[in-house]
Amino acid sequence: MNRMFRRISHSFLAAMMLLSGCASQQGSSLPKASVHSAVEPLSSEMEIGQKIHAQILSSFYVYTDQHVVDYLNGLGRRLASHAERQDLDYRVTLLYSDKIYATSAPGGFVYITTAMMSTVQSEAELAAILAHEIARLQYRDPSLSEARKTLQEVTKAGAMVASVFGPIGALAAMGLVGINAAATPHSRTPEKQLEEADHLAMAYLVASGLDPQAMLDVLERFMTLQQSDLPRYYDYYQARPITQDRAAAIQLDFNQINLEGKTFETGYQEYQELSRGVREIYRR
């Protein structure tokens, strides 16, 4: 048994399974990104992404410290430089929220909350979260134009969910319903999307010189959250379920990396300094 599996919190998995069903997927080797061809021009994808972006900005305050904003976007570009889709302008937006959450929207939009940024402990761990979202943007649906017809319904659904779960619920609804409908082929199940994004995210970390162990560490961090933190994590868990099978698949990918003669950055000290202001929000 490896270090990660020895420390997996079964109580965490049990608690989350009471809230939602757990998906499963089988591990496979690190793939080369495969971009689905699209008959719709990039402008259509950007139009949809801009509308979703506007909805998100209308529901959240944006963290605007320029040093932090530049850091996040620099890290995002570093990871995205190894993605197959170079036709997107990848942008990371930091949203004020005490919910631990991250998501993405068509056109290159990536979102992370202040609570998520305060939960991860190093640049490599943050990169693992961002890399997963960037990986999810690598696939376009030939029927992307159909998303225009559903965008209004998705917006209504987001508002309805928000009345129950608050603004993060609207973001979750748009992320799970609108983004998946707009940007991914209908033949790819949520489980398959999760698996493929994990594979690509690991590859982006390695190519960027960032410690791939961080993907295992960040899963472990989520699995060992305090019971009191689970409600803050619920929406993200719904969108990116953590299961034993998912953890095993990521571990398998990690084991297949040739680490001989390679050194990787964790960026712990730099990240602790950079994120101090964000973390202070949750110490008051």
SS3 assignment, position 147: helix
Look up the pTM and report it: 0.80
- What tokens appear for 43 in the block? 């402008």
Q: 97-107, pLDDT tens digit by residue?
A: 999 999 888 88
- Ordered strands of the 102-105 beta sheet: 91-95, 109-113, 102-105
Whether residue 48 contacts residue 106, with contact meaning beta carbons closer than 8 Å, is answered with: yes
Residue, of 226 and 2, whose pLDDT is higher: 226
Domain ranges in the chain are 3-16+40-274
Percent of the chain residues past pLDDT 70, beyond the cut: 68
Q: Is 221 exposed, middle or buried (0-12, 13-18, 19+ CB in 10 A)?
A: middle
Whether residue 224 contacts residue 103, with contact meaning beta carbons closer than 8 Å, is answered with: no
- Alpha helices by DSSP H, listed for 81-136, are 114-119, 123-136
Query: Over the chain, what is the mean pLDDT?
Result: 78
SS3 assignment, position 58: helix
Q: 39-86, pLDDT tens digit by residue?
A: 445 677 788 788 778 878 888 899 999 999 999 999 999 999 999 999
Residue, of 3 and 233, whose pLDDT is higher: 233
pLDDT at 190: 76
**Lowest mean pLDDT segment, chosen from 77-81, 89-93, 154-158:** 154-158
Residue, of 219 and 238, whose pLDDT is higher: 219
Instruction: Name the pLDDT band for 245 (thresholds 50, 70, 90).
Output: confident
Residue, of 188 and 229, whose pLDDT is higher: 229
Residue, of 109 and 168, whose pLDDT is higher: 109
pLDDT at 269: 96
3-state percent helix, strand, coil for the chain, nearest multiple of 5: 60, 5, 35
Instruction: Name the pLDDT band for 251 (thresholds 50, 70, 90).
Output: very high
Percent of the chain residues past pLDDT 90, beyond the cut: 45
Whether residue 137 contacts residue 104, with contact meaning beta carbons closer than 8 Å, is answered with: yes
pLDDT at 41: 57
What is the DSSP code (8-state) at residue 54?
H
Q: Who contacts 274 (Cβ-Cβ below 8 Å, separation ≥6)?
A: 67, 68, 71
Instruction: Name the pLDDT band for 146 (thresholds 50, 70, 90).
Output: low
Closest C-alpha among 282, 270, 224 to residue 126: 270
pLDDT at 91: 96
Closest C-alpha among 11, 4, 18 to residue 238: 18
Taking the C-alpha atoms of residue 116 and residue 114, their distance in angstroms, rounded to an integer, is 5
Residue, of 160 and 111, whose pLDDT is higher: 111
- What tokens appear for 41 in the block? 């021009």
